[in-house]
Amino acid sequence: MDVSQVLVFVILILNSSVLVCHGGKTSRFSRRNDISVDMPLDSDVFRIPPGYNAPQQVHITQGNHDGNGVIISWTTPDEPGSNEVLYWAEGSKEKQSAEGIVLTYSYFNYTSGYIHHCTITDLEFDTNYYYEVGLGNTTRQFWFSTPPRPGPDVPYTFGLIGDLGQTYDSNRTLTHYQLNPAKGNTVLFVGDLSYADDYPFHDNNRWDTWGRFTERSVAYQPWIWTAGNHEIDFAPDLGESIPFKPYVHRYPTPFEASESTTPFWYSIKRASTYIIVMASYSAFGKYTPQYKWFINELPKVNRTETPWLIVLMHSPLYNSYVKHYMEGETMRVMYESYFVEYKVDVIFAGHVHAYERSERISNIAYNITNSKCTPTSNQSAPIYITIGDGGNQEGLATEMTEPQPSYSAFREASFGHGIFDIKNRTHAYFSWHRNQDGYAVEADSVWLRNTYWDVEDKSFIASM
C-alpha cells in the first residue's frame, strides 16, 4: 500500500467516526446501548467501613473564598461520636484540631445518620495536608492538597463531572477520571448527584450509598457543588414540601464567603480561576436575590489576579439535543448579555445526558422588532460545554435536533468526563474523555484563549 492509499484509508476512517453537517461535528461513535444499570447494593463501592460507628461518606469542598480553606464532611451511622478533625501539613509533627457541627434530618420514612461538617480556614497554599476523623479504632485518615495562591499565571487542572448517579457507567466514569493521566486537582460538579429521587419514595438510603461510592475521590480532592433538578427532592405527596432538604444537609458550600444568602449560588477563587456557581432551579429573574447577587458579583472579578472566569450551572443555555431542548432559554435571555460583557471564558452545565461543545457565540441582539434572533459568532462570548454524561440510570440522551446548529462545534451521546487544564493567563486546554476509550484518549478537545487577556480572542480546535 503506497502513501496515497494510506492517506485515503485514514480519511475514510475519520469520516466514518464523525459526521460533518450544517453545524460542527456530530460523532457517529456508537456504544452498545443507552441504558444504564444500577450497581447492586452489595457492590464493593458501597461497602460500609468496618468498626462500630466508623465515619463514612467522607467528602471535602472548598471552605472559603480564596482557596486555603476546606469543609470536611462525614457521617456516623450509630451515634454522633466526635465532631473533631485532626489535621497537619505533610512533614509536620504538630497536629492541629478543629471542631465541627453535627446535624440530622428526616425525609418521609427515612432518618439520616449523624452528619458532620467542619470548616478549616487559614491553611497554607500549595500544601499537602493529612486529616483524621472518628474515634479510637475506627479513626480514618485521608489527605488533600490546597491550591496555589490565586495568581494570573498559576497552572491548575480541573475535572468536570455531571449527572453521575450510581450505575456501572457511573463507576466507569469515576474510575476513568481518577486514572486519567491529566490528573485533575479539583472536580467541578455540574449537578445531579445521587438520583435518590428516582427511587421509590425518594429513597434517601441512596444518598448514603452515593456518598460511600464517591468517597474514593471526594475525600481526597474538593468537589465544587452545583445543585441540579435531582437535588430538589420536592415531594408534597410524601409530606416533603421543603426543596433541597437532603442536599443542603449533606453537601455544604462556602456561600457566605461570597456574600450569598443561600448555598445554591456562590463564588470562589481557585488558583488562576474565578468560579461562579449559579442555581438553575432557584428564582433568577430580575430583582430576585440570585439576580442581585450575580450583578454585584461580576464587577468584583479581578482578571489581573484570576484571569479565567468560569460559570457553573445545571441546565445548559445552548443545547441541540431533543431532551431538555430550550429548558435554559429563560436564564439565557436573562443573563447572556452579562456573560458577554464580562467576557466569561466558559460555561459548564449538565442536565442533558450527553456531551456537547459550542463555538464562541451569542444571541443578544434581539430587541423584539429587529428579528435578530439567531446565534452569531462573538469572540467575547463564552464557550458552552454540556457534560451531563456521568452515567446515571436514566441513560443517554441520544436524539439530536437536525440539522446540527451552526453554533454546535461537537456533540456525542456517550458517557464520560472532562478535563480543563489551565496553562497560564492566556491559554487553557479542554478535553473530553469517553468511558469506552483508554484513560489518556481524548474524544474531543479544544485550546481556549482567555477572552480578557488575548487580543485575538480565538479558540482553536485541537482535535476532532
Peptide bond before 254: cis, by omega within 30 degrees of 0? no
Q: How far is it, in rounded angstroms, from Cα 135 to Cα 125?
A: 28
The dihedral region occupied by 300, where left means phi > 0, alpha psi between -120 and 50, and beta the remainder, is alpha
Q: How far is it, in rounded angstroms, from Cα 398 to Cα 189?
A: 22
The answer to whether 351 is a known catalytic residue is no
Q: For residue 464, which of 31, 32, 10 has the smallest C-alpha distance?
A: 10
Contacts of 190 (CB under 8 A, 6+ apart): 160, 161, 162, 163, 226, 228, 312, 313, 314, 348, 349, 350, 387, 388
Residue with cell 445554591: 264
Q: How far is it, in rounded angstroms, from Cα 211 to Cα 193?
A: 9
Contacts of 76 (CB under 8 A, 6+ apart): 53, 54, 55, 56, 113, 114, 116, 134
Q: How far is it, in rounded angstroms, from Cα 442 to Cα 297?
A: 34
Q: How far is it, in rounded angstroms, from Cα 335 to Cα 187?
A: 25
- DSSP-derived secondary structure letter, 257: G
The answer to whether 48 and 212 have CB atoms below 8 angstroms apart is yes
Contacts of 209 (CB under 8 A, 6+ apart): 41, 46, 166, 194
Q: Which three cell numbers stand for residue 248?
A: 443542603
Strands in 56-62's sheet, in edge-to-edge order, are 56-62, 70-76, 114-120, 101-103
Q: How far is it, in rounded angstroms, from Cα 134 to Cα 75?
A: 10
The answer to whether 452 and 301 have CB atoms below 8 angstroms apart is no
Q: At what angle do helices 205-218 and 168-179 cross, to 10 degrees?
A: 20
The answer to whether 231 and 191 have CB atoms below 8 angstroms apart is yes
Q: How far is it, in rounded angstroms, from Cα 320 to Cα 407?
A: 9
Q: How far is it, in rounded angstroms, from Cα 412 to Cα 157?
A: 23
| Catalytic position from the list 65, 202, 324, 433 | 324
What is the set of active-site residues?
324
